[in-house]
Chain A
Amino acid sequence: MSVRVLLPNAFQKHTNGEREIESNAANLPQLITEMETNFPALKTHLRDEQGQVRRFINFYVNEEDIRFLGNEKYAFQDGDEVLVIPSIAGGSWPDGRTPWAGLAVQAEARCARGMCSCCSYCGQEECCCGD
C-alpha cells in the first residue's frame, strides 16, 4: 500500500527540493514520523518548541480536510493523495489531541483512563500492528 504525498514550496528548502514523496505510512502520525526521518532538516521546522506539529500546517486526503475524516484515526487507503498545505488556515489541533507528538504517551494516558481502545502504537481503534 502506498500513498502519494505532495509537499508545498515552503517545505522544499528542507527537503532538498523534493516536491512529492511516496509513503507506506498507515496513517497521519506515521506519515509525519516518516517525513521527519527522511528529511531531518524538516523536523525542527515541523514542530514547535513543545514538540507539537505547528498549528498552521494542514493535511488533506484527496479532496477532504483530514480533520473531517477522523484525523489520526483515518487509515490511508492505497492510492490516496495526501496534500500538505501550510498556512492557508489558522486551524490547529485541539489541546491534548495532537496525536503524533508523544503519541504513545498520550494513547497510554487515554487507555489508562479507559477512554479508548486504540492501539498504543498506531493510534487506531482497529489495527494490525501486532499481526
Chain B
Amino acid sequence: MAAAYELRCRECGKRYENAPLSICDECFSPLEVKCDLDAAKRAFTKDAIAAGPSSMWRYQALLPVPDNYKPTTPAGWTPLLKAPRLAQRIGARNLWIKNDAVCLPTLSFKDRVVAVALANAQAFGFDTVGCSSTGNLANAVAAGAARVGLKTYILVPADLEAAKILNTQVYGATLVRIDGNYDHVNRLCSQIADRYNWGFVNVNLRPYYAEGSKTVGFEIAEQLGWRLPDNVVVPMAGGSLITKIRKAFQELVALGLVEDKPVRFFGAQATGCSPIAVAVKTGADHIEPQRPATIARSLAIGNPADGVYAARAIRESGGWAEDVSDVEIVSAIQELAEMEGIFTETAGGVTTAVTARLYAHGRIHPDELTVSCITGNGLKTTDVLEGAYEQHAAIRPRLGDFETYLQDRSEESEVIVGGSYVR
C-alpha cells in the first residue's frame, strides 16, 4: 500500500493536493512530492521489501502512486557490481558500479522515472503523454506509453543520435524533431503543457516523475546489505538524480532501515555543458546557463531545472563536481567496457572519467566505498566510437589462414608494445 503523499513547494513550503502541477502559484518555484514517512513506516520494512518484486516496485510504499496501482513494467533492480579491475586501473580499492545500462525496458535509468510518471498520468486521466528529451527519456516514455495504451508526443532536439530516434519511433510514438537544443525543446514543452491537456512527464508531472529516481538510492543501500556508501558519483543533466539519491538515503535513515552516516555526493558533467559543475567549483548559489557543445548529448542541458538543488546537495555533503572533455568521455567508455564488461553511453563515459579524476586528485580516498552510477547503454551512442576500431580483411575459413592471421597479429602487437601506443 502506498504511503500518503502530497505536493509541496520547495521554496515557500505551500502544500498542494495531488494534481498535474509542477509550479507553485505563490512563488513560481518548483513543487516536490512529500511522502508521509510515518504512514510508510509499517509497509516499508526490510522483510516487506525483500518479499516484493525484483524491480523498483519493491519500494512502492515510498513512491507517489495510488494505493491500488499495479505496475506494468519491470524497471529497476539493476546490478550493483564490484569493479575491481577498473578500480585497480584508476587507483581505487573499493569501487562499485550501479549499472542502469541494463535497466528495463529501454536500457536507461529513465525507465524508473517514467514508470512513476505514467502511473500518475493514468491516475489523472490523461489519454496523451509527452516529454522533452535528450533521448533516453524519449525511449522510456515511448515504450511505457505503448504498454499502457497512451498516445504520445515526444519532442527532441533534431540532432539526436539516430539510435535514440529509432528507439522512440519503433514504439509507435509521435516524435517531433525541434530545430534547437534541449533547452529550446524544454521551453516549448512548458508552453504546450500550459495549452493542451496532456501529461508531460517532465513538465506538469515532474514532481512525481522525479521521485522515481529515489529507487536508485534505495537499491544501492539494499544491495550493499542495508548500509550507505561513503561516496556516490552521479552524472548531472537536469540535476535531479543526485538530489533524489540523497533524498532516498535520508528517507532510509529516517525510517531506521540504514545507519546514519555521512555520504558525499559527487556530480559529473561534460566540460562542453557544465553549468552545475561550474557553480560547485565557483561556490555560486546560482546557475549560469550555457550553450551545450558536447558529444554527451544526454547530459546536454544548459539550463538545468534542478541545478541549484544539485549544487547545494553536493556542497552540503562535502562532495565536489568535475567536468571532462569529449576525448576523455570516449576513452572512459572504452575503459569501462574493457575493464568491467559494461558498455555505457556517453553519459556513463562522463561519470567514469570523472570518477577516475576524483581519485587522481585525491578527492576520494582509495579505501572508501564509492558507487559510480552508470545511467545508460552504449548501444544508443555507437556513433561516438565510429572509426575507433579497425576491421581487418576477412580471412578464408581455413586453419592455415587463421594461423597466418594470428602470426600477423602477434607481430602487430609487438610493434605496438615496442612503439609508443598510449591511449
Chain A interface residues toward B at CB < 8 A: 6, 8-11, 13-14, 45-46, 48, 54-58, 60, 63, 65, 67-68, 83, 85-95
Q: By the criterion CB–CB under 8 Å, are A13 and B305 in contact?
A: no
> Cα distance A79–B186 when bound, in Å?
23
Q: By the criterion CB–CB under 8 Å, are A10 and B284 in contact?
A: no
The verdict on A92 contacting B286 (CB below 8 Å), with A45-B28, A86-B23 known, is yes
Does B262 have its Cβ within 8 Å of any Cβ on chain A? Answer: no
Contact of A90 among B180, B184, B190, B309 (CB under 8 A): B309
Which 7 pairs show the lowest CB-CB distances between chains A and B? A90-B308, A86-B28, A92-B286, A90-B307, A89-B303, A9-B194, A10-B23
Q: By the criterion CB–CB under 8 Å, are A91 and B286 in contact?
A: yes
Contact partners of B183 in chain A: CB under 8 A: 65, 89
Q: By the criterion CB–CB under 8 Å, are B286 and A8 in contact?
A: no
Q: By the criterion CB–CB under 8 Å, are A92 and B308 in contact?
A: yes
> Cα distance A9–B284 when bound, in Å?
30
Chain B interface residues toward A at CB < 8 A: 11, 22-30, 180, 183-184, 186-187, 190-191, 194, 203, 239, 284-289, 291, 303-309
> Cα distance A92–B286 when bound, in Å?
5
Q: Nearest Cβ distance between residue A80 and chain B, in whole angstroms?
A: 16
Contact of B186 among A10, A86, A88 (CB under 8 A): A88
> Cα distance A95–B282 when bound, in Å?
13
> Cα distance A14–B190 when bound, in Å?
19
Contact of A94 among B24, B186, B288 (CB under 8 A): B288
7 other contacts beyond A58-B187, A90-B304, A91-B307, with CB at 8 A cut-off?
A14-B25, A56-B29, A56-B30, A86-B23, A86-B28, A91-B289, A94-B284
Q: Nearest Cβ distance between residue B241 and chain A, in whole angstroms?
A: 14
The verdict on A87 contacting B29 (CB below 8 Å), with A68-B291, A94-B284 known, is yes
Contact partners of B288 in chain A: CB under 8 A: 67, 91, 94
Interchain residue pairs with CB less than 8 A apart (6):
A10-B23, A10-B24, A54-B27, A63-B180, A90-B309, A95-B286
Q: By the criterion CB–CB under 8 Å, are A87 and B22 in contact?
A: yes
Q: By the criterion CB–CB under 8 Å, are B187 and A90 in contact?
A: no
The verdict on A67 contacting B27 (CB below 8 Å), with A8-B190, A83-B191, A85-B190 known, is no
Contact partners of B286 in chain A: CB under 8 A: 55, 90-95
Contact partners of B307 in chain A: CB under 8 A: 89-91
Residue of A nearest to B308 (CB): A90
